[in-house]
Structures are given as C-alpha cells and as structure tokens.
Amino acid sequence: MPHSFSAPRLLMNRLRQMMAAGHETRDRLDKTVQLIAGTMVADVCSIYLRTKTDELELVATEGLRREAVFSTKLAMDEGLVGQIALTAQPLAIQDAPRHPAFSYRPETGEDPYHAFLGVPILRGGRVIGVLTVQNRTERAYGEDEIESLQTIAMVLAELAVAVTDEVGDRISLRGRRAARMSGRVLCGGIGFGEIRFHDPEVPAAKFFAEDQSREISRLGKALRTLRLNVDSMVTIDSGALMGEPRDVLETYRLLAHDPAWTERLMDAVDGGLTAEAAIDRARREHRARLETATDPYIRERLYDLEDLDNRLLRILSGNETLKAEIADGDVVLVARRLGPADLLEYRESGLKGILIEDASVSSHAAIVARAMGIPTLGGLPGLTTALEGGDKVIVDAEDGALHLRPDEAVSNAYRNKVALSSEREERYAALRDEPARSLDGVDVRLMLNAGLQLDLDHLQTTGADGVGLFRTEFQFLVAESMPLLGEQVKFYHDAYERARGKPVIFRTVDLGGDKMLPNLNQEREENPALGWRSIRFALDSKGFFRRQLRALLRASTGRPLWIMFPMITVAEEFFEAKALLLDELAWSEARGHDGPSELHIGAMLETPSFGFALKEVCAEVDFISIGTNDLLQFFFAADRMTPKVADRYDLLSRPALRFLQHVAETCDTLGIPASICGEATGHPANALCLIALGYRQLSMPASSIGPVKFALRSANIADIRHTLCKQLDQGTGDLRKEVLAMFRDTHGSDAFH
C-alpha cells in the first residue's frame, strides 16, 4: 500500500492549533484547505457544503479558481462530488476526467487535474458536504490517506456549522435560527425546555489528543470492558428461553469482537484523535450508512454498531449503565432511537418533553412515554442533525409540531396555549367522579390501557372504571433478565393492589413482532408483524406460556381474574390457549392453591379473520376485546411500525367502521360482550363513533379519559348513530371530514380540539 501521506497526526496538530487560534470561520476554512493541500502534497483541496436547496456549493478551495467560491454549485447527484454526497462513501480515482460521473465546470479551472479523492462530511447521519483533494498527475491514493481525509472531514463538520452564520441562510447544516418540524404525536401535551441528547456527545473541543499513548490505552481498556460486558450478556441470556438459536446476540458479540472495527478505531487515534473522537467518527459513518441502507437486516446490524459505539462512549465516560440523571431545569430529551427500558430510566427525571427521531405511534417507547405522561413526538427525520446542545425547543404534542430555537412571539403564543390547556385539564379533572353518560342516557365504561405499575396510578386520578388492557409483556421487555415465576406473581399481585378493587383485564404475553426480547432470538423474518409472534409464539413456547398462566392464577387467588389472549386468528388458537389455562388451574387446585373467585376468559380480535370466526367461539369465550392497533394494520395492510404508512389509513373510514359495525352486530346476536382497546379509542371523535356503533366499553391511554368523557357527556348517541349509519350506507365523501363537521356543529370545536 503506498504510504505517501504519513503524517495525519501532524496535520491534526496543526488543525488543532489553527482552531485554537480563533480565526473567523471562513478564514479557518481557507486555512484548513491550505493546510490539507500542503500536508497531503495535493495540488487542490476544496470544501463543498450542502445548501438548503440540496445543492453542493464550493465554500473554500486551494488550487481551484477563487472566483468559483460561493458561485459553483453542483446538484446532489452531479459529478464525482455529487456521487460522494449521494452514497455517503469516499471515492478515490486515478484519472477523474475519464470517470463516467465526472462533470466539468470551466469556471473552476480544474482541467489539468487527474487524480481525485473525496470524502463525505457527515453530521448526525447526514451528508452535509464533501471534502476533496486533487493532483495533477494520475496517482492512486492510499487507504491511510482516505482515512486521514475522513478524520479531517469530521473536524470540518463541526467547523462548518459555524459557517452558516457567515454565508447567510443558503447552507443547510443547521441554523441558529428558529425552525419548525412536523412529527407524530406519541404522547399528547406541550413541553418547553433545553434539549439533552440521550446518546453520548463528543464536543469538538475533545477531538484532538494531547497524549497519544494515553488515548490508545484508554481505548484498549474500554474495548476490553465492552467485550467482557457483551460476552457476559450472551452467556446470561442464552437459554433463558427454550434454547432458541442465538443468532441475534451472537451477531452482536461478533461485531463487538470485530478486529476491523478495532483497527479503524485505533488507526483514528493513531492519526491524532482522542478515543472519544475516534468512536464518534465511526458512529458518524454508521449513521450515514443507515440513512441510505434499505435492507432490514443491514439496518439492524448498523443499529447494533451504533449501539456499540454508544456503549463504548459511555464506558469511556465512566457512566456505563445509562444513568439518566437530569440536572435541574426544564429538559427535553432527544434520541435517535429509544428502547422502553432506556426511557424508563428517565422516569424520575422530570423531563418536560421527549423527541425520538425514529419512532412510530404504536412503538414501545411511545407506550412508555404515554405511561409517563410526558409530551412526546416521534418520526422526526434529521432531528439530531438539526439540533445542537443547549438549543431550546417547544414540543407541541397536540398539533405534532416541534419548534426549534423559538423566538419570543412563538414562545408567548405557547404560554397562552398552555394556560388554555391547563384550563381544559381542570375541566376534565372536575369530571373525574361524574358518570361517563351521554345526554340521551347511554352509559359507557371508560377503562385504561396499562402495562407498567406507573400506569395504574392513573386509575385514581382519571376515575377510570378499571384496566381494559394490561400489557403483561412490558414486565418482560423492561426487565434485565427473564422474570421468574415469583417475580411475575408479585408483579400481578401489585397490579391488583394498585387497582384497589377495580377490574384489571390481563392480556397474556404479546411478544415477537416489534416487541423483541434480545434472548427471544427469533430467526430473521421478512414481515415480523405477520410472523411468529403473540399467541403463536406463546402456544409454541408452552413452558414459558404456562409459567405466565400459573403466575396469573396464583396472583388472583380469591379475586376475579379477567384474562385475554392476544391476536387470535382462528377459533382453534383460542381453544388451545383456554385449555392450557384450565389445565394450569386444575394443576394448581390439585396442589392446594385456591383459584380465582371468578374467571373471565376473553380473546382479542386483532385480525380480520377472527371477525368471521365468532360463531365458533361464542359458546366458549366470555368476552372479546378489539385491538385496533393491530387490526387496522392487518385490515389495511399497513405496517403500524413504518411511519410512512402508519398514518395513512383511518379508523374513521367506511371500510374500517363497516367492519367494526359487522363485529358489533355479530357479537350482539351471539351474545358476546365486545369492547375496544386499541389506542384509536382515545380520540373523542373515534370514541363517539364506536359508541354509536354499539360498543359500551372502551379502553384507552390515561390522558384520553377526560377528553372522551367530556365529549360523551355532551353527545346524543342516538343522533350520532342515525347520521353515522346513513353515512356508512349511502355516503361517498371523506367520512372523517363529515363526521368531524357533524361533531363541531353539535358540540362546538372545544371537545375536538
């Protein structure tokens, strides 16, 4: 391998001195290109930054014509520079003019240059520019030169941020200016605060190493700790579940031991970076590849790599387990991805808002955020790039808007809005002990969706009639290791205690699909939502399933047990699950344990097929509960976890409501009590339509009980039913619009804000 550039560390030192000297930003860019060209013995060095209109603008050059600076612009897919921006990968070419992607720009005077090397400038997983060097003669750039240029590009990414202030608003790195983004509401409310990143940050000031050998030894030690941790994770977790293949954890372990990863980190430190900066560089590359990768398997591996980068950074900071302590002040948490367990660690932190770049409404982080009652937005591509530590934000999780660095006028408007919504909250709180009864005397049971002990406290604050859906898998998802029988019994027992006599409907484990346990080790599935999950997984894992049933029976001794099985698709699945439960009951009783005082066995209707199997189960089932989150995804063939399609289809549409009407009528005829527990019931307009179709028990997030009760108490259900049924029979327009117009006419807009 040619080694024509052997002094990356020297260059780093010079860069460090130059950054410390405090020149103007543009001056620094000019000096940087001179420095790189000089040290790399290149005839040309240029920096292109991405503009708001997604072009690449030349902002500094050594070697090309000065007049071209701030005038030459390339489209994102134009020329070699565009190629690098598109792929987020370096490109080294011996004879550039002969390359098919080469694009000639006469104003730059680049005719005589043959050799070309360019690397992306990455920030927060996004390409924000391209750094290039060129030589007159044809030559092959070595691996070490490519590496060095990538390291320099990382430093430049930070430097380039400051350039925005000096070149007006053309460059799109991030602005110090106010900006607005739209996201999905994962938990309603409004929050103000200063942002705090969940992933460890490496400030630019920590990029350059003072003492190389110390950095090498810090990195080596951190890598050893990381590997030990990952190895013990594999050993502890393996076999906890039925000895399934251990692909997922094994792959993770292999990645942690990958010598190529270590070598790259060590090389970067060798080139003059601190251990933290070396890891940060790797993390930028992994994130950038994630932005372009479409294959789900590769994406998972890249997330694994990013996770390893983050773990390593935490080890270096001496904060191995995520210590989610937030200092005083109003803080909004910002994360690219967040697991339910991570989020739970912040529960005592008094967060004012949560922003998750990559999360959809029915993801687990969203469910935990709702349990914590913190205004949360998800589905915000580019979020982490757009923000900088110390930025202030307003999380408007009522309208799905995020205001970055808001100006005074926006802040004032929100202060007023918050005052208004606290008035509303007070109004809802005043209804706590009032009946959920419509104007024409229709009584409805409003229940809570829960999964964590923390949710159960809302039973008293909201005045809900009970827990209509207790997601028992949450105990498994947030536990460090598989909960033992005794721990499960205690968990359910606590749930009974906290419910203080109100009914709790326990839904047996709904794992698989999006709710993966690391030690479940499923084989990779093309469509996890349609795969080996929920009741399918439970019925195939009898030891595991029986243990849960036993725990539920033990905890409910002498109390009524309401239990339901998720995602029943055909009658036989229900029969099999019920038989297991009754077997367990007989087994327990034979050993002298008292059973529950009442036993109500239900099935969740979450697949369209089960809507047509009700006749077969009617003699055996005590109730059904409709899970609209899953039902709608299957009904409309739209993955609830894919933000681009998750919101595309609507419960308030003719196909969905006609199906639910069919189910309500069938259940009525067959004498099966039917309720609904998907998150969609929590919107007042949806809830009123479902009540109008005949449903008398709805289970929803705690924050929805007040608004739904408020709307119900001023509604005439018979009138709504009349209009809705007519609309379903004869209408052709947009049903949601028509229904909302009807409600606004009869209720005023306040009930449907």
Q: For binding to ligand PEP (CB under 6 A), which residues are involved? A: 362, 469, 471, 510, 606, 627-630, 677-678
Least spacing, CB of residue 710 vs ligand PEP, in Å: 23
CB nearer to Mg ion: pick between 164 and 697: 697
CB nearer to ligand PEP: pick between 157 and 660: 660
Among the listed ranges 107-115, 629-637, 665-673, 705-713, the one in contact with Mg ion (CB under 5 A) is 629-637
Q: At which residue do the structure tokens 């479409």 appear?
A: 294
Give which of ligand PEP, Mg ion, none residue 678 binds (C-beta under 5 to 8 Å, depending on kind).
Answer: ligand PEP
Residue of 405, 520, 502 whose CA lies nearest to 456: 502
CB nearer to Mg ion: pick between 584 and 630: 630
CB nearer to ligand PEP: pick between 68 and 563: 563
Amino acid at 668: D
Amino acid at 237: D
Task: Write out the two tokens for 734.
Answer: 């947009």
Least spacing, CB of residue 689 vs ligand PEP, in Å: 16
> Within 13 Å of residue 76, how many CA atoms lie on the same side as its CB?
12
Least spacing, CB of residue 370 vs Mg ion, in Å: 15
Q: What is the 3-state secondary structure (H, E, C) of 295-326?
A: CHHHHHHHHHHHHHHHHHHHHHCCCCCCCCCC
Sign of the four-CA dihedral 737, 739, 745, 750? negative
CB nearer to ligand PEP: pick between 134 and 686: 686
Coarse DSSP helix, strand, coil percentages of the chain, rounded to the nearest 5 percent: 50, 15, 35
Give which of ligand PEP, Mg ion, none residue 628 binds (C-beta under 5 to 8 Å, depending on kind).
Answer: ligand PEP
Least spacing, CB of residue 635 vs Mg ion, in Å: 13
Sign of the four-CA dihedral 18, 24, 30, 33? positive
φ, ψ at 719 (rounded to 5°): -65, -45
Least spacing, CB of residue 633 vs Mg ion, in Å: 9
Give which of ligand PEP, Mg ion, none residue 134 binds (C-beta under 5 to 8 Å, depending on kind).
Answer: none
Which residues have CB under 8 Å from 387's CB, separation 6+? 174, 195, 197, 334, 393, 404
Give which of Mg ion, ligand PEP, none residue 362 binds (C-beta under 5 to 8 Å, depending on kind).
Answer: ligand PEP
Contact 602, 468 (CB under 8 A): no
Least spacing, CB of residue 471 vs Mg ion, in Å: 9
Give which of ligand PEP, Mg ion, none residue 147 binds (C-beta under 5 to 8 Å, depending on kind).
Answer: none
Least spacing, CB of residue 182 vs Mg ion, in Å: 27
Residue nearest to Mg ion (CB): 630
Subset of residues 591 to 610 that bind Mg ion, contact rule: CB under 5 A = 606
CB nearer to ligand PEP: pick between 129 and 627: 627
CB nearer to ligand PEP: pick between 57 and 510: 510
CB nearer to Mg ion: pick between 152 and 505: 505
Least spacing, CB of residue 629 vs ligand PEP, in Å: 3
Least spacing, CB of residue 498 vs Mg ion, in Å: 23
CB nearer to ligand PEP: pick between 198 and 533: 533
b/e for 18-47, b at 16 or more Cβ within 10 A?
Answer: bbeeeeebbebbbbbbbbbbebbebbbbbb
Assess 630 for contact with Mg ion (CB under 5 A): yes
CA angle 143, 144, 145 (to 5 degrees): 90
The SS3 call for residue 172 is: coil
DSSP string spanning 657-676?
HHHHHHHHHHHHHHT--EEE
Assess 110 for contact with Mg ion (CB under 5 A): no
CB nearer to Mg ion: pick between 82 and 627: 627
Task: Write out the two tokens for 237.
Answer: 């977790």
Least spacing, CB of residue 547 vs ligand PEP, in Å: 20
Least spacing, CB of residue 566 vs ligand PEP, in Å: 6
Residue nearest to ligand PEP (CB): 627
CB nearer to Mg ion: pick between 400 and 627: 627
Which residues have CB under 8 Å from 214's CB, separation 6+? none
Assess 473 for contact with Mg ion (CB under 5 A): no
Contact 186, 356 (CB under 8 A): yes
Report CA 9 to chain centroid distance, whole Å.
38
Amino acid at 644: K
Give which of Mg ion, ligand PEP, none residue 34 binds (C-beta under 5 to 8 Å, depending on kind).
Answer: none
Rg (CA), the chain: 29
Task: Write out the two tokens for 215.
Answer: 């950095």
Give which of ligand PEP, Mg ion, none residue 161 binds (C-beta under 5 to 8 Å, depending on kind).
Answer: none
Among 124, 627, 682, 706, binds Mg ion (CB under 5 A): 627
- Cα 121 from Cα 314, distance rounded (Å): 25
The H or E element spanning position 179 is strand 179-182
Site residues for Mg ion per CB under 5 A = 606, 627, 630
